[in-house]
Amino acid sequence: MKKFISVHDVTDINALVEKALMYKANPFKDTALGAGKRIGLLFLNPSLRTRLSTQVAASNLGMEAVVFNVDKEGWALEFEEGAIMSGNTVEHIKDAAPVLGSYFDILCIRTFPSLKNRDDDYSELYISQFIKYCGVPVISLESATLHPLQSLTDIVTITESLKLKADGKKPKIVLTWAPHVKPLPQCVANSFAQWINAWGEADFVITHPEDYDLCDDFSKGATITHNQEEALKDADFVYVKNWSTYNDYGKIYENDPAWMLTLDKLKATNNAKVMHCLPVRRNVELSDEVLDSDHSIVTQQAGNRVWAAQAVISELLNAQTGTAK
């Protein structure tokens, strides 16, 4: 693996999942792998889990991790080629990225979408320019359209639960839209759909209100319904997430509380496990009664962020040293 931006960078999802679970069982197995190496974590947007889990993962592999909150502490970056920089941007990515590449062996970057211009966001200009100019392997810590470390974690968590069940049945996984008070990116939902479709080991259903279609580059392959009740029937896993509109880009059309998942709705499921990437707005996106019940595996899921990140960093380090493991 040379970079980690989407599922397309992964040749074998299950092998990567097993590697993550191997690190969960034995976190310090490869402390020598990253010794003397440095990883830079660049944030243009806030984070709790992604920042800390990736730092812990790097440390478990013997690496030094340096976090830089570019949005608060760095110069305002310009990403457009040929820009006349007479506005607010101070430094071009063409100049900043190679400097960062000279300081670090691996670079990670988080860049959210503007939610103003769909073509701009879906062109993934920021992360593409960063990859083009930094000269070292890049890990996405969430980009304008995708959140691959989260999605890998999600499949690690689902696999872990399936191993406990051990009934060998193909699980039914439902991604359900949830209400929210502000327009959120489609990244987590896009990415989850992309990974579950690529994984191919589940009956996958996406349910959302009309007008909340995801980009079909990611959702194609799933069964899509506007009937949440029908979608939840016999579900083994329910992944709850809000996203803003894709077609009339970046809007909230409705915030119907009837879409919030409740214990009553879960009665129709196969005693489903409930997942959410966090942070979650309690009693808006997900009810207290669900989050605080045995259905919820959100803490386990967030904990697994460490092992997913460790597996990915390990793959990139092995690729640098030419060691296939």
Looking at beta carbons, which residue is closest to ligand CP?
A: 50
Could you tell me where the beta strands, DSSP code E, fall in the chain? 38-43, 64-68, 77-78, 91-92, 106-110, 138-140, 172-177, 203-207, 223-225, 237-241, 273-275
Closer residue to ligand CP (CB): 135 or 279 = 279
Binding to ligand CP by CB under 6 A, coded x per residue (else -) over 41-70, reads: ------xxxx--------------------
Which range in 6-14, 83-91, 273-281, 314-322 contacts ligand CP by CB under 6 A?
273-281
150 binds ligand CP (CB under 6 A): yes
What is the total count of residues that contact ligand CP (CB under 6 A)? 9
Closer residue to ligand CP (CB): 3 or 49 = 49
DSSP state of 6: S
Binding to ligand CP by CB under 6 A, coded x per residue (else -) over 74-93, reads: --------------------
**What's the min distance (Å) between Cβ of 3 and ligand CP?**
19
The most distant pair of C-alpha atoms in the chain lies apart, rounded to whole Å, by 62
Site for ligand CP in 103-142 (CB under 6 A): 142
End-to-end CA distance of the chain: 11
User: Which is it for strands 38-43 and 106-110: parallel, antiparallel or unpaired?
Assistant: parallel
d(CA 192, CA 13): 13
What lies within 8 Å, CB to CB, of 305 at 6+ separation is: 49, 50, 53, 54, 149, 150, 153
CA-CA distances (angstroms) from residue 289 to 16, 260, 263, 270?
A: 34, 11, 7, 18
**What's the min distance (Å) between Cβ of 183 and ligand CP?**
16
d(CA 41, CA 297): 27
**What's the min distance (Å) between Cβ of 278 and ligand CP?**
5
Site for ligand CP in 274-293 (CB under 6 A): 277-279
Closer residue to ligand CP (CB): 145 or 269 = 145
Provide the binding-site residues for ligand CP, judged by CB under 6 A. Answer: 47-50, 142, 150, 277-279
